[in-house]
Amino acid sequence: MLHPLLSATLAASAIALSGCVALTEKPTPPPVLSSTDFHQRMNALEATLLASCDNTRIDAELSSVASRQDLLIGDMREVGSLLRSTNTRLDRIAEDESEPVIVRRECAADELGIGNKAVLGSSEWIGLPDVGTYLKARIDTGASTSSLSAREITRFERDGENWVRFKLGLAEDDVVVEAVRDEWIEAPIERRVRIIQATGEESRPVVTLMMTLGPIQEPVEFTLSDRTHLDFPALLGRRFLLDIAVIDVAERYLHPRPEFPGGRPAEEAERHENDADLDNETH
């Protein structure tokens, strides 16, 4: 019987030898596929992939793409037809050498902002019922206050108020009712205006006289000054025109001359209307 120590030694040696044998063994290689087996596996994989695709959905999308393509082609053809038609029209316009037709539209009075305002020419006949005469007047928007030609202007007081006495300042060829040419005219002084001219400063009295012009009958403020060196014995300014009249500078004497006792008939006024219209007075 072996000694126990020897038995243990032999057993350990056996275990060590068995481990070395296990470490020195080679792993078993995988089996090698033949060419036939490889192709069979690839065909099976392709069949599996095709089976996983939805052939119906793909066909539907392909059909939708084809329909949109047809619509786009139709739109392109329509655009091409429109372009050809437009080019044809442009060519016809270019070849047409006729003058353009201008259509004129008459503007209504309300569109021009005239409304019920009277239209005046650059010069008109006015009537002075308080004096009893007609006179030629220039219409001038450059002047603020209207002006009447006067001479022998004399201030006096009546009932505590300032009045003025004057005669019409008329040249020999001024058209007037002859009976009033040298008559005195009296009126209260409304106010005085200061006029600055190249020759210096001047204060002029302002009186109110009733005036007629065509359909207009209004009290008008006139400054009194000697206008005998000018073409018109009267001038109508902006204060008179405001809100009641507009001027057509291309026209003259649009309204008939008023008639007064002792004066000539209105039908004869035309032969006195060939004035020079050279009055540059603005005051």
Cα–Cα separations (whole angstroms), residue 184 to 55, 164, 180, 232, 235: 120, 10, 8, 20, 20
Cα–Cα separations (whole angstroms), residue 87 to 77, 80, 82, 95, 210: 16, 11, 9, 12, 70
Q: Is the pLDDT of residue 21 over 70?
A: no
Instruction: Supply the pLDDT for residue 267.
Output: 86
- 126 Cβ partners below 8 Å, 6+ apart? 134, 135, 136, 137, 211, 212, 213, 234, 236, 258
State how far the Cα of 31 lies from the Cα of 51, in Å rounded to an integer.
Answer: 29
End-to-end CA distance of the chain: 165
- CATH number of the domain bearing residue 196: 2.40.70.10
What average pLDDT does the segment 49-76 reach? Answer: 70
Q: Is residue 87 part of a domain?
A: no
More confident site: 39 or 95: 39
Q: Is the pLDDT of residue 238 over 80?
A: yes
Name the one residue in this structure whose structure tokens are 């500078």.
249
pTM of the predicted model as reported, rounded to 2 decimal places: 0.58
Q: Is residue 128 part of a domain?
A: yes
In the chain, the percentage of residues whose pLDDT exceeds 90 is 43
Q: Is residue 94 part of a domain?
A: no
In the chain, the percentage of residues whose pLDDT exceeds 70 is 72
Q: Is residue 224 part of a domain?
A: yes
Query: 101 falls in which pLDDT band (50, 70, 90)?
Result: low
- 107 Cβ partners below 8 Å, 6+ apart? none
- Helix (H) or strand (E) run with residue 98 in it: none
Radius of gyration of the chain (CA): 58
Name the one residue in this structure whose structure tokens are 């507009």.
246
pLDDT in tens, 250-278: 999 999 999 999 988 888 888 888 765 44
Instruction: Supply the pLDDT for residue 278.
Output: 47
Instruction: Work out how many domains the chain is built from and give that number.
Output: 1
Q: Is residue 150 part of a domain?
A: yes
Instruction: Supply the pLDDT for residue 57.
Output: 65
Please give the residue range of the domain that contains residue 259: 118-272
Q: Is residue 208 part of a domain?
A: yes
CB burial of 119-147 (b: ≥16 within 10 Å; e: otherwise) equals ebbbbbbbbbeebbbbbbbbbbeebebbb
Q: Which segment of 53-57, 69-73, 174-178 scores lowest on mean pLDDT?
A: 53-57
Instruction: Supply the pLDDT for residue 20.
Output: 45
What average pLDDT does the segment 32-59 reach? Answer: 72
Instruction: Supply the pLDDT for residue 222.
Output: 96
Own/partner long-range contacts of 91-98 (Cβ < 8 Å, ≥24 apart): none
Q: Is residue 261 part of a domain?
A: yes
More confident site: 188 or 69: 188
What average pLDDT does the segment 200-226 reach? Answer: 93
More confident site: 128 or 20: 128
Q: Is residue 98 part of a domain?
A: no
| CA–CA–CA angle 165, 277, 200 (5° rounding) | 50
